[in-house]
Structure 1
């Protein structure tokens, strides 16, 4: 019995990207929501709630990007030139966010500036990531196994829509995290922000999904024709159910449930994207098998992943367990 390592690697990369999106997504979301909190205690407690985790969360970005380069080098060589401006903007946003995170505590005289850098860097990184996703979904022009489009092919109404959807989704994750990790009036403020972000996320997810049906004929065929529709239909149904439960948990007094339900919403969104483009890694024509590294390279890398990924998951889980409490008014867990 032969094992399709290419498919295994596709799921490994998808897992790495999902782990990055949900883990770094909530701390980017807190940066996006930062203007809603008053300078001083509110912003300090919000930032302290992610202080033990934010830099470790970015490990998954390295795994996703590095894994794509190693396992699917052709896809990497096509996607990066097609989205260079967005990738550069994302990295600059992450740099500003990281530097501001450290310096706002050490340079109190310029804390308003570092707060703005934290907000702007988080917003820029989130918007860029969403637009990269949109640029990939709308299709990339490829000729002779190389990118053949222009510098600004990524800039379309569709990519702006996916970018705004990602910003809203990250804001939802961040607000739900704060509902879980804060208390008193700040928790209630986060709950109100989560309700607004949830409405925006649901609306933009619906808009992107409808846009996808008109974006490429193969996408509409995948979602609207038999027998594919029988496999695809449960995704939007489950998404609606999770969204309803998320809304009810936020309207009630639940604390941790909104965060887990928002993660479920992201998982179903990613599952829907997988259903839309599978088995392509670069729509419309480059499949995972076209882009895959040689078999021996995949085997060699799989051994490394089998060793390192459990370690990453282990120390991440340990960090979350150690700092599992709420952030009190003293600013500590």
Structure 2
């Protein structure tokens, strides 16, 4: 029995990217929401709600990026030159945010600087991810297995709009996370922000669902050809169902349902991107099979992945289980 190793590895990397987006998305969202909470106590609780898990969430980014280099070297070699600037900005934002976790608790006089670092780093990282995604969706020109575009091809109205949309989406994840993990006035404030960002997220998804198919003829064929046109009907219906559960959960005072519904919105959005991209890994220039390393390398690496991925899932699940429930306002990260 032969396995389609490039397809299997594309699924593994897609799963790693999705895990990163939904896990690191909510703690980036907490940083994005930081300026909306002025009280030091509220900010302390917000950071404490993600302190036990934020660094583990970024493991999936390493797995996705490292896997792309090892398994799809041609994709890595063409995507990176096209997106050097937004990806560098993303990494700098993640560094400033990470350092803020350690230094904010060590100073009183300079605490405001680390508040800015935490919020600013989160915003820059989220916006850069959205810009990179938008540039990727637009397509990357490749000739003779090399990137042929310019330094600033990634900067377009579509990519900037995608960056802003992801800021709103991550804010939704962060707000619903705070609804689930905090209590009192902080939770109620987060509930109100979740309502607004939820409407903004759904509106953004609607705009890009109409905009994206007209960027490339391949996308239009993919979404309105048979049999994938079925997804054009199913996915919007599921999005509306998730949005209904989100709003209902927020209005009825439910703690976990809004977060689960917001995750559903992201999973469906990610599925829509995957449908648009397939069979390309560098839209619309390089397919999964053209970019893949030799089958011998893919087989060898897959053995390691079969050990590593379950381990990452296990310790991630354990961390969330240990730190389940509401955050104690009197305890925290020191």
TM-score for both structures, normalised by structure 2 = 0.97
- Counterpart of 1:307 in structure 2 is 307
- Counterpart of 2:105 in structure 1 is 105
- Counterpart of 1:151 in structure 2 is 151
- Counterpart of 1:25 in structure 2 is 25
Matched, 1:130 2:126: no
Is residue 5–residue 298 contact of structure 1 (8 Å, CA) maintained in 2? yes
Change in CA separation of 1:40 and 1:155 when aligned onto 2, cut-off 3 Å:
same
- Counterpart of 2:255 in structure 1 is 255
SS at match of 1:109: coil
- What is the alpha-carbon distance in structure 1 between the residues aligned to residue 329 and residue 106 of structure 2? 20
- What is the alpha-carbon distance in structure 2 between the residues aligned to residue 331 and residue 191 of structure 1? 23
Is residue 126–residue 166 contact of structure 1 (8 Å, CA) maintained in 2? yes
Q: CA deviation at 1:328?
A: 2.7
Unaligned runs of 5+ in 2: none
Q: CA deviation at 1:48?
A: 0.3
- What is the alpha-carbon distance in structure 1 between the residues aligned to residue 226 and residue 178 of structure 2? 43
Q: CA deviation at 1:17?
A: 0.2
CA deviations over 1:161-193 (Å, ceiling 9, x no partner)? 111111111100000000000001111011001
Unaligned runs of 5+ in 1: none
Is residue 245–residue 257 contact of structure 2 (8 Å, CA) maintained in 1? no
Q: CA deviation at 1:8?
A: 0.6
- Counterpart of 2:37 in structure 1 is 37
Matched, 1:161 2:155: no
- What is the alpha-carbon distance in structure 2 between the residues aligned to residue 308 and residue 227 of structure 1? 35
- Counterpart of 2:93 in structure 1 is 93
- What is the alpha-carbon distance in structure 1 between the residues aligned to residue 216 and residue 86 of structure 2? 23
- What is the alpha-carbon distance in structure 1 between the residues aligned to residue 329 and residue 123 of structure 2? 27
Aligned-pair Cα RMSD in Å: 1.1
- What is the alpha-carbon distance in structure 2 between the residues aligned to residue 90 and residue 231 of structure 1? 32
- Counterpart of 1:328 in structure 2 is 328
SS at match of 2:109: helix
- What is the alpha-carbon distance in structure 2 between the residues aligned to residue 127 and residue 190 of structure 1? 21
Matched, 1:82 2:76: no
Q: CA deviation at 1:261?
A: 1.0
Q: CA deviation at 1:332?
A: 4.4
- Counterpart of 2:229 in structure 1 is 229
CA deviations over 1:263-293 (Å, ceiling 9, x no partner)? 1110000000011111100111210000001
- What is the alpha-carbon distance in structure 2 between the residues aligned to residue 329 and residue 84 of structure 1? 40
Single out whichever of 225-234 and 28-37 deviates more from structure 2: 225-234
Is residue 242–residue 265 contact of structure 2 (8 Å, CA) maintained in 1? yes
Q: How many residues align?
A: 333
Single out whichever of 296-305 and 247-256 deviates more from structure 2: 247-256
Single out whichever of 67-76 and 213-222 deviates more from structure 2: 213-222
- Counterpart of 1:48 in structure 2 is 48
CA deviations over 1:65-100 (Å, ceiling 9, x no partner)? 001111111000000000000011000000110111
Is residue 90–residue 125 contact of structure 2 (8 Å, CA) maintained in 1? yes
Moved runs in structure 1, 4+ residues, more than 3 A? none
CA deviations over 1:31-50 (Å, ceiling 9, x no partner)? 00000112311000011000
- Counterpart of 1:142 in structure 2 is 142
TM-score for both structures, normalised by structure 1 = 0.98
Matched, 1:11 2:19: no
- Counterpart of 2:241 in structure 1 is 241
Is residue 161–residue 208 contact of structure 1 (8 Å, CA) maintained in 2? no
- What is the alpha-carbon distance in structure 2 between the residues aligned to residue 228 and residue 23 of structure 1? 28
- Counterpart of 2:316 in structure 1 is 316
CA deviations over 1:125-175 (Å, ceiling 9, x no partner)? 000001111111100011111000000000001001111111111100000
- What is the alpha-carbon distance in structure 1 between the residues aligned to residue 177 and residue 104 of structure 2? 21
- What is the alpha-carbon distance in structure 2 between the residues aligned to residue 52 and residue 30 of structure 1? 14
- Counterpart of 2:205 in structure 1 is 205
Single out whichever of 224-233 and 73-82 deviates more from structure 2: 224-233
